[in-house]
Amino acid sequence: MQIKTHSIDHRDISYPPGGILLWIIIILELVTFGLGIGGLVYYGNLETELFHTSRLMLNAPLGMLNTLVLLVSGYFMADTVAKLKSWEMEASKRSLLLTMLGGLVFVGLKSWEYYEKLSSDIEMADNMFFTFYWLLTGFHLAHVLVGLVILLVIWINMKSKSMAVELADVESGAAFWHMCDLIWLLLFPALYLVF
């Protein structure tokens, strides 16, 4: 197994980890979620009682647990990159595996939360709060699933003895994963705590 690190000079601040295109995508995703959260706040100010009552129907402890899971997963993703940079391949693979495990736990907890909502007949069309809830958390969940696929491909490449691992690829996966963390850190208080 080889680690290729020569393709990018990380001392050049004009070239961020993961590349310019990835960061354009990340910025667009953050703007998209920011607009969604802005809409949530706007309509929440118009219908404060409805939004408060609806928010109380969410499972805030489960949302907090999801937050902790993603934060721990984000730590292991950062550790993956750090270990790879110091040529600790086995430790890097373990950290990446723990990152993916955290992502799978998040998906499981979010699926359980969705099951609770659907079992209580809480759907997107019920009111504006739940429209935002389903759209924002569903779109975020889709990003987590895409992130898991990206991380799985990286992990397979790391496990393969015949393939070289590009540090830039791992950093790209890390940047995308941390974007998912950041989005959730914005969504959790907006949906579960504010109203």
As given in the structure block, the two tokens for residue 110 are 């979010």
Q: For residue range 121-131, list pLDDT tens digits in order.
A: 999 889 999 99
Q: What is the pLDDT of residue 16?
A: 75
Q: What is the pLDDT of residue 6?
A: 46
Strands 164-166 and 2-4: parallel
CA gap 141, 136 in Å, rounded: 9
As given in the structure block, the two tokens for residue 77 are 């993703």
Half-sphere exposure of 29 (CA within 13 A, CB side): 23
Domain layout of the chain by residue ranges: 19-193
CB 62 within 8 A of CB 114: no
Q: What is the pLDDT of residue 163?
A: 57
Tell me which residues of the chain have a pLDDT lower than 50: 5-8
As given in the structure block, the two tokens for residue 56 are 């109380």
CA distances (Å), origin 177, targets 11, 77, 86:
23, 8, 21
Neighbours of 192 (CB within 10 A): 19
Which residues lie closer than 8 Å to 29 by C-beta, 6 or more apart?
Answer: 143, 179, 183
Which residues lie closer than 8 Å to 77 by C-beta, 6 or more apart?
Answer: 95, 96, 99, 151, 173, 174, 177, 178
Q: For residue range 58-104, list pLDDT tens digits in order.
A: 999 999 999 999 999 999 999 999 999 888 889 999 999 999 999 99
Q: What is the pLDDT of residue 77?
A: 97
- Burial of 32-71, coded b for 16+ CB within 10 Å and e otherwise, reads ebeebbeebeebbeeeeebbeebbeebeeeebeebbebbe
CB 98 within 8 A of CB 75: no
Q: Which CATH architecture has domain 19-193?
A: Up-down Bundle (1.20)
Q: pTM surpassing 0.85?
A: yes
